[in-house]
């Protein structure tokens, strides 16, 4: 890496991005009670899908989190939940390449976006599944830095 490249990279990192949460929508929720009662010791598996959708015209990024909850031993879906988070960004144009029109956000921003969304989903799950057989199926802490996007 040349000195010039390093300077360009530093400039990219130092760009600030202001954003705010505009809306939280619960898109769907479902319970599928297992045929046998859940035992005293259970392992819940959470199948997680996160989608980032961009709306450049309105400076909006939508994060859709969909979770399917399975009982590990049976591998049967016992619940699901889908939520949509709408974030409004300021100065989005700074992150659009003038020629290719591709948007590239700093890693820290993506990390924050995923962390905020996942934490909020945890709360939504808890409040919606409270008192049901999924009462104890609370989402474990996830290090979103380790997440790699699908290709």
| Count, residues near other proteins per rule CB under 8 A | 37
CB of 51 to other proteins, least distance (A): 5
CB of 61 to other proteins, least distance (A): 8
CA dihedral over 42, 77, 126, 51, signed as positive or negative: positive
CB of 80 to other proteins, least distance (A): 14
CB neighbour class for 101 (10 Å; exposed up to 12, middle 13-18, buried from 19): exposed
Q: Does 149 sit near other proteins (CB under 8 A)?
A: yes
Binders of other proteins in range 72-111 (CB under 8 A): 72, 93, 103, 110
C-alpha span between 149 and 142 (Å, rounded): 15
C-alpha span between 108 and 110 (Å, rounded): 5
CA dihedral over 135, 25, 61, 79, signed as positive or negative: positive
Candidates 4-12, 25-33, 122-130, 141-149: pick the segment binding other proteins (CB under 8 A): 141-149
Binders of other proteins in range 47-66 (CB under 8 A): 47-55, 57, 61-62
Of 1 and 140, CB closest to other proteins: 140
Q: How many CB atoms lie within 10 A of CB 114?
A: 18
Binders of other proteins in range 118-137 (CB under 8 A): 136-137
Which of 5, 10, 41, 97 is close enough to bind other proteins by CB under 8 A?
A: 41
Strand bridging mode 60-71 / 76-89: antiparallel
Sheet holding 76-89, edge to edge: 19-31, 76-89, 60-71
List contacts with other proteins (CB under 8 A): 37-55, 57, 61-62, 72, 93, 103, 110, 114, 136-140, 142, 147-150
């Amino acid at each position: 890496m040349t000195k010039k490249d390093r300077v360009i990279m530093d400039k990219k990192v130092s760009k600030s991005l202001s954003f705010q949460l505009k809306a939280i929508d619960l898109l769907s929720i479902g319970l599928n009670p297992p045929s046998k009662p859940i035992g005293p010791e259970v392992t819940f598996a959470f199948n997680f899908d996160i989608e980032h959708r961009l709306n450049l015209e309105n400076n909006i990024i939508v994060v859709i989190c969909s979770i399917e909850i399975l009982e590990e031993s049976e591998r049967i879906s016992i619940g699901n939940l889908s939520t949509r988070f709408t974030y409004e960004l300021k100065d989005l144009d700074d992150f659009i390449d003038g020629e290719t029109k591709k948007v590239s956000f700093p890693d820290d921003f993506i990390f924050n976006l995923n962390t905020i969304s996942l934490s909020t989903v945890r709360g939504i799950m808890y409040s919606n599944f409270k008192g049901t057989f999924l009462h104890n199926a609370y989402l474990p802490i996830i290090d979103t830095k380790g997440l790699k996007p699908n290709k």
